Amino acid sequence: MSSALVHNHPSGPGRSGQEFAHDIRPGMANPVMDCQAVFRALLLTMSRPGTIATLGRRLAPPAPLTPAAAAVFLTLADMDTPVWLGDAATPELCTYLRFHCGCPIVREPGRAAFALVADGRRLPELDGFAAGHQEYPERSATLVLQVTGFDTASGVRLTGPGVNGETVLGVDGLSPGFWPAFMDNHSRFPLGYDAILCSEDEIAALPRSVRVEV
Amino acid sequence: MSLLDDALLDDALLDDAMMPGAAAFLAEKPAATVDRAATDAGARISTASQNAAQTTAQAAPERDAQYNYAYLDEQTKRMIRRAVLKAVAVPGYQVPFAGREMPMPYGWGTGGIQLSASILGPDDVFKVIDQGADDTTNAVSIRKFFVRTTGVRTTESTAEASVIQTRHRIPETPLTEDQIMVYQVPIPEPLRWMEPRESETRTMHALEEYGVMHVRLYEDIARHGRIATNFMYPVLVNGRYVMSPSPIPKFDNPKLDRSPALHLFGAGREKRIYAVPPYTEVRSLDFEDHPFEVEKWDECCGLCGATDSYLDEVILDDAGGRMFVCSDTDHCAARRAAGHVGPMAARRDLKELADRTAAE
Amino acid sequence: MYVAVKGGERAIDNAHRLLDAERRGAPDVPEIGVEQIAEQLSLAVDRVMTEGSLYDRDLAALAVKQARGDLVEAVFLLRAFRTTLPRLAVSTPIDTASMRVRRRVSATFKDIPGGQVLGPTFDYTHRLLDFTLTGAGRDGHPLDGPPATAPATNAPHVRDENDDADEAAAPPRVMDILARQGLVFEERPEDGRAVGDLTRDPLGFPAARDVRLQNLARGDEGFLLALGYSTQRGFGDNHPFAGEIRMGELAVAIAPEELGFEVEIGDVTVTECEMVNAFKGSKTEPPRFTRGYGLTFGFCERKAMAMALVDRALMARELGEELDAPSRDEEFVLYHSDNVEASGFVQHLKLPHYVDFQADLVMVRAMRAEIARREAAGKDSGTADAADADTFNDGDAR
């Protein structure tokens, strides 16, 4: 893993000079191809709940962002997607995401297109995130939940679109309260948020369409 | 690896706009092995590995570095990728997206092209069909475009492809979990023929007000004794959204139901993306007393003798002479290669047709 | 004889070669240059920039050349190129009151502060073919001496720096004079809402005016012309007056956050039209004038005027007017204004559709066979069997 810090890039996107007083950790070495690969992993996991994709530790983002979660943000977030960081909104992390993604950082959870839950064991109020409207259910948040690991041998049972019959997903470092909350989320389909679970180097996804049984 | 070298040119452009030039972290490539149990018991998959086993597809050609990789700028790809993920999360719902003008006209598959441009990568093997055939002019043109802008490997074999862009057909060869179908969609709204207003149809979807669709189908039955919709036949996805499967013949509708592949639909002009995830219920609308049924032919394919594939009619002369051949050229060629012979295969005047549809 | 509806790579390549030969025309005629198009077919270039939504004279001229003069095709070329460009900055709003006008007319007042400037207009030309332009005649020279207030050329960059007339102070907008008297419906931006952008968010309904204007600015001139015309003939009467039409140059600026001040990045030529429309008032609004707005790149006066008429027509919903005319139906107007979309979808009908046609063919044959069977059963003659009906169908499957 590269831990090198590079000095701010003089021709980066428009931010105030003061913010660039920080050293900013590097983004993707090859944004075009790396984003493509990460997106395919996201597409794979979102369309096949229970599947775990390995992203590797290709990024060295500021704490508490994991390399996998950082890859998700750098692939999907930009100036059109407000990002909510909760209490993970350290100046260093805000600068990192603003610099690499150009995304606005917002305080109100309801405005966020992407929301970081830095520690899956300490959940914020999940009902506060946008669930879309009946006419536009896609105008909903995507949660990026950081967890510690995955298990395909035991865990919750998943059924629904993307799952052949049923499958099992075990998640370490995730509050048990998440599952009932996600069941409630599923019950309001087609409304609801979607979740991308990220460990240090792996991701799994839970679209609102998937049914969970504990 | 030449693809990566070429891609560095993109970096040079992007660096100035968005990204800092940073220490290379590509040193840590993702593992290239598939550690995949059966899907019903969970699976671990590494990103760069899915097509490691491709063998007979064409070698990766050089891409034209004058253009962005896959033509689109990265911001556009991100916008499309976000829409795709939401489309997957709400199966059958049409996600609006800010579709771009592509270098092909609207109506030529710009929706599918934008989807393919946003998903294709160096590990993919790409197949393009139009009317089921790899050699129809527009399929050739789209394939060339992606070879030029991505250097992607291409194939005519359904089994070898990881991404299949299609207009009007689903291949006869059963799809697999490792495949993504990309559909070109002219009119994504299944209710459009009954209600031209977007604001109205959007509300109908929101309220699951699909009675008008059933009425229309039933009017057919009352008037003609059968449902007279033969392509773009509406389906109900995951029990929630009525969806147009694009102008595929209804013959192909059953292939969507619980398909192991991911199906992505792109309507460029109408600016909508929608999806059917793998193993999702896709039910063709019908009535108890008039169950859904597909086209049948009395004839078989004149070249390969297939009796279970979708057949195109070929007019042979001015006197009403005609024959039927598989619409899926890859399917037909593979059958002939395996020794199947249709009743017209030996006719010398049809040699050109047979050659055109033969494997390379 | 068997005719395949298929083609291959070679057919496409050959078609491209033929197309290029046609574009070039007779080889003994000198090839037209991109500069010649930019300078001498400047109105074509202006239209292509406007509807192509990209201000670049050279690229637009190239598109016109490559499209063999087909302007809708040229618009398409420019749009497709636009797709590849990253969005580096967003300009600050341009202020047309600061325009260095080359043309400026008002139909609502005889005299206006700053005066009327005819500029390079076709308006009072007699549409008589000028045979002196056929080559030998005037030897390429323009008519004698540019008039003092209106430079004869449409290319600002070749203007004489010493020409005082060019420095004429930017005259105030006629509508602003009326607005200051409270006679014009006041338009204010909605608080906190960013200006919409169709290239980032697809069209949704109801569409706000900013999005409508963007759609119309990119829209097909012919479509807007016909719709605008229809409002004058009673299909949604707007009582329009041309409050002001102005054309000229103004500066475009960006304000990068890290700099904290504006930087001018260049000049553009634009045409602006403000239509004044009488509004008789409603329960909540006193009688006043409303404003239809048109703005184009370059000199596209007809388009700007038509756009202003349609813009005003589309305000019907907000003003509580009847939605009784095509020009007032925003879904109808906004969904069908774009000539790149329209041209593509109309022309895609020439792509092969034989799979779907086959599906209909199978059904029509089956239905006719069934009818024939029923008739035969009715007559109890047994002569018209399904096979006969099938043969009978061949000629008229459509």
A10 contact C CB<8A: no
What are residue C290's DSSP bridge partners?
C277
User: Is B92 a known active-site residue?
Assistant: yes
Q: Are strands A51-54 and A83-84 parallel, antiparallel or unpaired?
A: unpaired
pLDDT tens-digit profile of B302-355?
A: 999 999 999 999 888 888 888 999 999 999 999 999 999 999 888 877 776 666
**Mean pLDDT along residues A4-11:** 34
C287 token code pair? 């009688």
pLDDT at B214 over 70: yes
Give the rounded percent of residues in chain A with a pLDDT score beyond 90.
Answer: 87
Is the previous residue joined to C206 through a cis bond, with omega within 30 degrees of 0? yes
Q: Residues A6-35: what's their mean pLDDT?
A: 62
Is A16 part of the contact surface with chain B (CB cutoff 8 Å)?
Answer: no
Instruction: Report which residue type is found at C75.
Output: V
pLDDT, residue B61, reads 80
Q: Which residue of B has its CA nearest to A101?
A: B18
Which of residues 145 through 184 in chain B touch A, CB cutoff 8 A?
177, 180
| CB-nearest partner of B100 from C83, C335, C355 | C83
Convert the pLDDT of each residue in B93-151 to its tens digit: 999 999 999 999 999 999 999 999 999 999 999 999 999 999 888 999 999 999 999 99
Q: Given this model, what pLDDT does residue B66 score?
A: 87
| Alpha carbon of C379: minimum distance to chain B alpha carbons (Å) | 21
Section B181-192 average pLDDT: 96
pLDDT confidence of residue C91: 92
Active-site annotation holder among B92, B111, B151, B342: B92
Report CB contact under 8 Å: B231, C356.
Answer: yes
Q: Best interface-test mutation with A: which of B85, B116, B118, B120 has the largest number of A CBs within 10 A? A: B85
Q: Is B42 on the interface with A (CB under 8 A)?
A: yes
Q: Return the ∠ at Cα A25 (arms to A22 and A31), rounded to 5°.
A: 130
CB contact under 8 A, C258 and A80: no
Please report, as a single letter, which amino acid is at residue B258: R
Q: Please give, rounded to a whole number of angstroms, the shortest distance from the CA of C231 to a CA of chain A.
A: 33
Catalytic residue status for B300: no
Average pLDDT of every residue of chain A: 90
More confident: A75 or B226: A75
**Full 3-state SS string of chain C:** CCCCCCCCHHHHHHHHHHHHHHHHCCCCCCCCCHHHHHHHCHHHHHHHHHHHCCCCHHHHHHHHHHCCCCHHHHHHHHHHHHCCCCCCCCECCCCHHHCEEEEEECCCCCCCCCCCECCCCCCCCCCCCCHHHHCCCCCCCCCCCCCCCCCCCCCHHHCCCCCHHHHCCCCCCHHHHHHHCCCECCCCCCCCCCCCCCCCCCCCCCCCHHHHHHHHHHCCHHHHHHHHHHHHCCCCCCCEEEEEEEEEEEEEEECCCCCCCCEEEEEEEEEEEEEEEEECCCCCCCCEEEEEEEEEECCCHHHHHHHHHHHHHCCHHHHCCCCCCHHHCHHHHHHHCCHHHHHHHHHHHHCCCHHHHHHHHHHHHHHHHHHHHHHHHHHCCCCCCHHHHHHHHHHHCC
Q: Do the chains contact at A14 and C256, CB–CB below 8 Å?
A: yes
Whether residue B37 and residue A152 make contact (CB cut-off 8 A), yes or no, is yes
A142 vs B85: CB contact, 8 Å cut-off? yes
Instruction: Average the pLDDT over C84-91 and give the result.
Output: 88
With pLDDT > 70 as the criterion, what percentage of chain C qualifies?
85
What does the pLDDT read at residue C113? 85
Which residues fall within 8 angstroms of residue C128, CB to CB, at 6 or more apart?
Answer: none
Is A3 part of the contact surface with chain B (CB cutoff 8 Å)? Answer: no
Would an 8 Å CB–CB cutoff place B169 in contact with chain C? Answer: yes
What is the pLDDT averaged over residues C185-211? 87
Range of weakest confidence among A2-6, A150-154, B77-81, C179-183: A2-6
Residue C7 has pLDDT above 80, yes or no: no
For residue C359, the chain B residues in CB contact (below 8 A) are 230-231, 249-251, 295
Q: Would you give the DSSP letter of residue A59?
A: -
> CA B84 → CA A143, B94, B244, B277, C289, distances in Å?
16, 10, 17, 11, 46
Quick check: C84 and B72 CB within 8 A?
A: yes
Per-residue pLDDT reduced to its tens digit, C254-304: 988 777 889 999 999 999 999 998 877 777 778 888 999 999 999 999 999
Q: Which strands make up the sheet holding B272-276, listed edge to edge?
A: B95-96, B272-276, B262-267, B180-184, B163-167, B125-130, B153-154
Residue A7 reports pLDDT greater than 80? no
Q: Which residue in the set C89, C200, C258 is minimally distant from A16, CB to CB?
A: C258
B107 — contact with chain A (CB < 8 Å)? Answer: no
Nearest chain B CA: its distance from C109 CA (Å): 42
Question: C371 to chain B: which residues are within 8 Å by CB?
Answer: none
Which residues of B are less than 8 Å from C340 in CB distance?
A: 101, 105-106
**CA torsion angle A149 A153 A155 A159 (round to 10):** 110
B301 among known catalytic residues: yes
Shortest CB distance from C358 goes to which of B17, B79, B312? B312
| Dihedral of alpha carbons C74, C77, C83, C88, sign | negative
**Selected catalytic residue, list B99, B112, B302, B332:** B332
Note whether A48 contacts B: Cβ–Cβ < 8 A. yes
| Closest B-chain CA to C339 | B106
What pairs with residue C101 in β-bridges? C248
Q: Is the pLDDT of residue B22 over 50?
A: no
For residue A14, the distance in angstroms to the closest alpha carbon of chain C comes to 5
Q: What confidence category does residue C180 fall into, taking pLDDT thresholds of 50, 70 and 90?
A: confident
pLDDT at C167: 41
Question: Nearest 10 degrees: CA dihedral of A60, A66, A70, A76?
Answer: 160
pLDDT surpasses 90 at B47: no
Average pLDDT, chain C: 85
Among the listed residues B301, B320, B339, B342, the single catalytic one is B301
Average pLDDT estimate for A193-210: 98
CB contact under 8 A, A15 and C89: no
Instruction: Flag whether pLDDT at A64 surpasses 80.
Output: yes
Check if A14 contacts C (Cβ < 8 Å). Answer: yes
Q: What would the mean pLDDT of B42-59 be, rounded to a whole number?
A: 50
| Chain C residues whose beta carbon lies within 8 Å of the beta carbon of residue A108 | none
Say if residue C11's pLDDT is above 50: yes
Which residue of A lies nearest to C86 if distances are taken between CA atoms? A13
Answer yes or no: is pLDDT of A28 > 80. yes
Does C256 sit within 8 Å of A16, measured CB to CB?
Answer: no
d(CA B123, CA B121): 6
ipTM: 0.91
